[in-house]
């Protein structure tokens, strides 16, 4: 019997506009550094590896300063701590976080059906502020973040931490996310049921899919 549903955040509950790396590239250009979104996109594997090497994070502000210095060094630029701080401030002020239109109806509907809800996200502590700003933080019993537990999805351990926090078994739990590689693969490794939010209608097999979150309400009776 299904008791709990865990959600990814970015691409599942909300999206950012403009794309995060576009805002970051603009922040770079504000400092006189000619960096494009494509430049940053190409370095994503290196950025992910940096994150994994520095989790868990104790001082978020210091982490971002050091991360920006690392990232710009990869691209051939030397910046100061002051530059890095200005870059992060520009990023924070110009990134718009918007929830998908069906989110409130979906979460309220699942709560009405008696489902316990939580978040598992590859994110920093400020993810809670984003959820609070969207007025949806209150739906969730717990918010489990990779930067705090020390390992990101698809590592099965982050899912196991979340299951333990809610005191539910894997077979009693469903994970909902928009990334097959990080969300579906990771949750399945932990023994959880899964649903892929396939907004782009990609042809990925081997999992249950919905095109919007509202489809999750219809799916839960089949688990």
Three-state secondary-structure class, residue 57: coil
Asked if residue 83 and residue 190 are part of one domain, the reply reads no
Same domain flag for 72 and 152: no
Mean pLDDT of 29-49: 95
Sequence-distant (≥ 6) Cβ neighbours of residue 58 within 8 angstroms: none
**CA–CA separation, 217 and 138 (whole Å):** 19
Taking only the tens place, the pLDDT of each residue in 170-220 is 999 999 999 998 999 999 999 999 999 998 777 666 788 999 999 999 888
Distance CA 189, CA 210 (A): 21
Q: Is 203 exposed, middle or buried (0-12, 13-18, 19+ CB in 10 A)?
A: exposed
Same domain, 106 and 203: yes
Please tell me whether residues 192 and 124 are part of one structural domain: yes
Residue after which a domain boundary falls, among 66, 94, 122: 94
CATH number for position 175:
3.40.50.1000
Same domain assignment for residues 111 and 78: no
pTM of the model: 0.90
Exposure class string for 14-23: b at 16+ Cβ within 10 A, else e: bbbeeeebbb
Q: Are residues 57 and 112 in the same domain?
A: no
pLDDT digits (tens, 9 = 90+) for 78-100: 999 999 999 999 998 998 999 99
State which residues form the domain around 36: 19-94
Q: Does the pLDDT at position 67 exceed 90?
A: yes
Share of the chain above pLDDT 90, in %: 80
Domain count, the chain: 2
Per-residue model confidence as pLDDT tens digits over 119-156: 999 988 889 999 999 999 999 999 999 989 998 999 99
- Do residues 138 and 175 both lie within one domain? yes
Tell me which H or E stretch contains 40.
helix 37-42
Q: Report how far apart the first and last C-alpha atoms of the chain are (Å, whole number).
A: 7
- The per-residue pLDDT of the chain, averaged, comes to 93
For residue 204, the model assigns a pLDDT of: 65
């Amino acid at each position: 019997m299904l008791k709990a549903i865990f959600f990814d955040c970015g691409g599942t509950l909300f999206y950012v506009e403009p794309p995060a790396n576009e805002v970051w590239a603009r922040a770079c250009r504000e400092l006189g550094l000619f960096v494009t979104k494509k430049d940053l996109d190409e370095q994503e594997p290196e950025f992910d590896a940096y994150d994994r090497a520095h989790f868990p994070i104790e001082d978020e502000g210091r982490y971002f300063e050091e991360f920006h210095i690392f990232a710009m060094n990869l691209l051939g630029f030397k910046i100061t701590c002051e530059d890095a701080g200005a870059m992060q401030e520009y990023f924070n002020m110009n990134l718009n976080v918007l929830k998908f239109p069906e989110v409130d109806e979906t979460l309220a509907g699942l709560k009405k059906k008696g489902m316990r809800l939580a978040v598992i996200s590859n994110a920093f502590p400020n993810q809670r502020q984003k959820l609070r700003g969207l007025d949806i933080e209150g739906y969730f019993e717990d918010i489990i973040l990779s930067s705090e537990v020390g390992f990101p999805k698809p590592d099965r351990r982050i899912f196991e931490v979340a299951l333990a926090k809610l005191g539910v078994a894997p077979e009693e739990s469903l994970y909902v996310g928009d990334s097959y590689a990080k969300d579906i693969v990771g949750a399945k490794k932990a023994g959880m049921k899964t649903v892929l939010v396939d907004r782009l209608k990609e042809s990925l097999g081997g999992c249950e899919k919905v095109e919007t979150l509202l489809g999750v309400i219809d799916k839960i009776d089949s688990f």
